[in-house]
């Protein structure tokens, strides 16, 4: 029935078709208005503001009135000229790569332990507790980190001092800053990161384990031969997808922990863009660097998405 109706419908003139569509769907279109306005104003309009990257921004003249910059790549050139700025890119990639590799394996091991635990009640309690840090703000995690790591009152330094060592300025030295970021990221995300793996483990056919037990296969070997192959796919897909966000080292996280003393090891693209743009009002330069990051990120995400899809397909 619907095909004949569609056919008759498509023969109608455009005006009539629009009228009928509106007549049928107007309440739903009405509902969409707030959402469309939101995305238009706060997501799409800023994309127009990206022309700033190619303009010499004068506040009085506004974005459109400001003159074009010559050559068009002036701000990009300016950014890369400074060796300190190359350091920022290195910091960003180093922090996110370490987060990626340090973060994934503990979550996986934790998920395996939870699924193998015979006392389900205990496993559930540990699971619930392990999710908690995920819900704490980075500011609160910073507070916890100062309680543990600060030079004067930090628990870790108290222990070091009691053992006769020198207090270590974990939070204020370039030597340790990235380690602290990676460690706190691990602390916050360890339990939460296990959820996806646990779901994948639950999805494995239990008859495989039964058969393996009958064949005299121990539990280590069951993990090795059944569980790990069963979740290999999701592991690789997650890994690939995370590589796509490599230019996001965690703006909020790093910004909360960052102090002037640790800028040389802790400044990342996002914090630099913030300080340059909003702190020093170098809007054009900051926009240019932000644009570069956005374009690279989008490319990376698309590429890694395609790769993960290919990988998924190749498994089947």
Partner 1 sequence: MVRSKNDRAFDALVYGILLFVLLITLIPVMFVVSMSFTPYEELIKRGGFVLIPTKVTMTAYKEMLSDGLLLGGLWITVQVTVIGTILNLIATTLTAYPLSRRQMPGSKLVTKLIIFTMLFSAGTIPTFLIVKATGVMNTIWAMILPSLITVYNLIVMKAFFEGLPEELFEAARIDGATEFGVLLRIVMPMSLPIMMTIGMYYAVTHWNAYMVAVLYITDAELRPMQVILRRMLKSANMDYNAEDVVPAETLRMAAVCFATAPIVIIYPFIQKYFVKGTLAGAVKG
| Beta carbon nearer to partner 1, 81 or 119 | 119
Query: Which residues, 6 or more positions from 281, have their beta carbon under 8 angstroms from its beta carbon?
Result: none
Map residue 68 onto helix, strand or coil.
strand
28 near partner 1, judged by CB under 8 A: yes
| Beta carbon nearer to partner 1, 242 or 293 | 293
String of contacts with partner 1 for each residue 127-156, x by CB under 8 A: -xxxxxx-xxxxxx-xxx-xxx-x-xx-x-
169 near partner 1, judged by CB under 8 A: no
44 near partner 1, judged by CB under 8 A: yes
218 near partner 1, judged by CB under 8 A: yes
| Beta carbon nearer to partner 1, 266 or 290 | 290
| Beta carbon nearer to partner 1, 83 or 222 | 222
CB of 263 to partner 1, least distance (A): 15
Query: Which residues, 6 or more positions from 187, have their beta carbon under 8 angstroms from its beta carbon?
Result: 133, 141
52 near partner 1, judged by CB under 8 A: yes
21 near partner 1, judged by CB under 8 A: yes
Structure tokens at 115: 């699924």
Total residues contacting partner 1 (rule CB under 8 A)?
91
Alpha helices in the chain (DSSP H): 2-11, 14-38, 45-48, 62-65, 74-81, 83-116, 120-131, 138-149, 155-162, 174-202, 206-214, 219-222, 228-243, 251-257, 263-266, 269-274, 283-315
| Beta carbon nearer to partner 1, 95 or 145 | 145
Structure tokens at 33: 């208005």
189 near partner 1, judged by CB under 8 A: no
**Which residue in the set 36, 84, 211, 303 belongs to the binding site for partner 1 (CB under 8 A)?**
36
Question: Of 152, 142, 153, 151, whose CA–CA distance to 180 is shortest?
Answer: 142
Which residues, 241 to 300, sit near partner 1 by CB under 8 A? Answer: 251-252, 255-256, 259, 270, 273-274, 277-278, 283, 286-287, 290-291, 293-295, 298
Question: Of 68, 71, 79, 73, whose CA–CA distance to 282 is shortest?
Answer: 79
């Amino acid at each position: 029935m619907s095909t004949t109706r569609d056919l008759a419908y498509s023969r109608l003139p455009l005006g009539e078709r629009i009228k009928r569509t509106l007549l049928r769907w107007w309440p739903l279109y009405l509902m969409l208005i707030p959402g469309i306005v939101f995305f238009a104003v706060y997501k799409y309009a800023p994309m127009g503001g990206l022309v700033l990257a190619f303009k010499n921004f004068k506040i009085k003249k506004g974005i459109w009135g400001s003159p074009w910059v010559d050559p068009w790549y002036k701000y990009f050139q300016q950014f890369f000229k400074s060796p300190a700025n190359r350091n920022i890119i290195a910091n960003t990639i180093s922090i996110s790569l370490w987060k990626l590799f340090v973060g994934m394996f503990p979550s996986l091991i934790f998920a395996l332990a939870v699924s193998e635990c015979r006392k389900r009640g205990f496993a559930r309690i540990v699971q619930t507790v392990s999710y908690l840090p995920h819900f704490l703000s980075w500011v609160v995690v910073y507070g916890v980190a100062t309680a543990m790591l600060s030079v004067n009152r930090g628990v870790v330094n108290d222990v070091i001092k009691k053992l006769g060592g020198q207090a270590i300025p974990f939070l204020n030295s370039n030597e340790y800053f990235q380690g602290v970021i990676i460690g706190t990221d691990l602390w916050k995300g360890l339990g939460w990161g296990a959820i996806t793996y646990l779901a994948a483990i639950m999805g494995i056919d239990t008859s495989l384990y039964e058969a393996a037990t009958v064949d005299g296969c121990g539990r280590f070997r069951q993990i090795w031969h059944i569980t790990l192959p069963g979740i290999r796919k999701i592991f690789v897909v997650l890994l690939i997808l995370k590589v796509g966000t490599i230019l996001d080292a965690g703006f909020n996280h790093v910004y909360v922990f960052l102090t002037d003393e640790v800028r040389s090891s802790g400044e990342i693209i996002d914090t630099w863009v913030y300080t340059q743009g909003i702190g020093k009002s170098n809007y054009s330069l900051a926009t240019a660097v932000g644009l570069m990051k956005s374009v690279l990120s989008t490319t990376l995400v698309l590429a890694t998405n395609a790769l993960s899809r290919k990988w998924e397909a190749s498994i089947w």
